[in-house]
Amino acid sequence: MSVGNHWLFTQKQLEDNPSRKFNIGETEEEDLRREGVKIILDVGKELKLMQNPTLSTASVFFHRFYMFHSFTEFPKHLTALGCLFLAGKVEETPKKCKDICTAAVKVFPLEFTSKTLIEDVMSLERVLLQTVRFDLHVEHPYPFLLQYAKALKENVSEEADKELIAQAVQHAWAFVNDSASTTLCLQWEPEVVAISMLYMAIKLAKMEVQSETLDDQWWEMRVPLQRLVNQLHCKQLMPAPNLIRSLISGRLI
C-alpha cells in the first residue's frame, strides 16, 4: 500500500483526537472538518485550482493537521488557507499568499476580517510543515480509480457494458471528490478508497458483471462499506459482485 502507516489511524485514535480535550464532540468535529474543506474548495475554485490534485492535497493536509491539533487552538478557516497555500507549492500550482487571502475575503467576507491575515496564514503554514514532519507526498484515489476502470472495461466485450462502466466511473470520481470532506484519507489507503467508490458506483448503477468465483480472502483489504456509505450519505450496499473481487485480488490488474 502506498500510504505510510503513520498517516493511517485507528477508529480509537480518530475518536481520541486533540479536539476532544476541548469538549468538541464527534458531530461538531465532523461539521468543522466539512466546513474547513469547503473553504479550501471554494477559495481554490476562485483561484482556478483543480480538485485533482491541489485541492485534494490541501484537504488531506487539513485532516492530518487536526489529528495533532484541536479546532480550538487553530481556527478552521485559517488552517484551510494554510493548507491551500502549502498544497499549491507541493503540487506545482503555487499561488501567492496575498492572492489566496484576497480570494478568501471575496468568497467568505464574514470569516476573514483580520488585518494580519497574510501573516497569519504564513505562520500557520510553518506550523503545518512541522506537524506533517515535512512529509509532503500525498497520493489520491484518482489514478487507482482509472486503473481499475481500465481493468473493468477490458473484462467486458459489449459496448453497452463499456458505456455503463464509463458512467459508473464518472459517479465514482464524484464520490472521491465528496470524500475530501470526510476522514477516509486518515483510515484507508487511496487504492482501497478507489475500489470502494467504484464498487458503490457500479452498485448504484445496478450493474452485474460475471467473473469466476473466488474465495473470500479478497475482502481482507476492504473498506467497511456501511461506514463509508454513512460518511457519504449514500444508500446501504449489498456484497460486492465477483468482478470487484477479481479486481481487488489482483486477477485483473
The per-residue pLDDT for range 113-158, each reduced to its tens digit, is 999 999 999 999 999 999 999 999 999 999 999 988 888 777 777 7
Cα–Cα distance measured from residue 235 to residue 253, given in angstroms and rounded to the nearest whole number? 28
Cα–Cα distance measured from residue 48 to residue 40, given in angstroms and rounded to the nearest whole number? 12
- Full 3-state SS string of the chain: CCCCHHHCCCHHHHHCCHHHHHCCCHHHHHHHHHHHHHHHHHHHHHCCCCHHHHHHHHHHHHHHHCCCCCCCCCCHHHHHHHHHHHHHHHCCCCCCHHHHHHHHHHHCCCCCCCCCHHHHHHHHHHHHHHHCCCCCCCCCCHHHHHHHHHHHHHCCCCHHHHHHHHHHHHHHHHHHHHHHHCCHHHHCCHHHHHHHHHHHHHHHCCCCCCCCCCCHHHHHHCCCHHHHHHHHCCCCCCCCCHHHHHHHHCCCC
CATH of 142-249, one of 1.10.472.10, 3.30.70.20, 2.30.110.10, 1.20.1050.140: 1.10.472.10
Cα–Cα distance measured from residue 74 to residue 235, given in angstroms and rounded to the nearest whole number? 35
Which cell goes with 67?
Answer: 489529528
Please compute the mean of the pLDDT values over residues 59-65 and round it to a whole number. 98
Contact 69, 16 (CB under 8 A): no
Q: What is the mean pLDDT of the chain?
A: 83
pLDDT at residue 253 tops 60: no
Check for a shared fold between 7-131 and 142-249.
Answer: yes
CA angle 123, 103, 137 (to 5 degrees): 55
pLDDT 10s digits, 227-250: 555 555 433 333 344 444 444 444
Q: Report the percentage of the chain scoring pLDDT > 90.
A: 62
206 sits in the region (left: phi over 0; alpha: psi -120 to 50; else beta) called left
Cis-peptide, bond into residue 75, ω within 30° of zero? no
- Full 3-state SS string of 66-128: CCCCCCCCCCHHHHHHHHHHHHHHHCCCCCCHHHHHHHHHHHCCCCCCCCCHHHHHHHHHHHH
Q: 113-131 in b/e burial notation, b at 16+ Cβ within 10 A?
A: eeeebbebbeebbebbeeb
CATH, range 7-131: 1.10.472.10
This prediction's pTM: 0.82
pLDDT at residue 205 tops 80: no
pLDDT 10s digits, 69-110: 999 999 999 999 999 999 999 999 999 999 999 999 999 999
User: What ranges do the domains of the chain cover?
Assistant: 7-131, 142-249
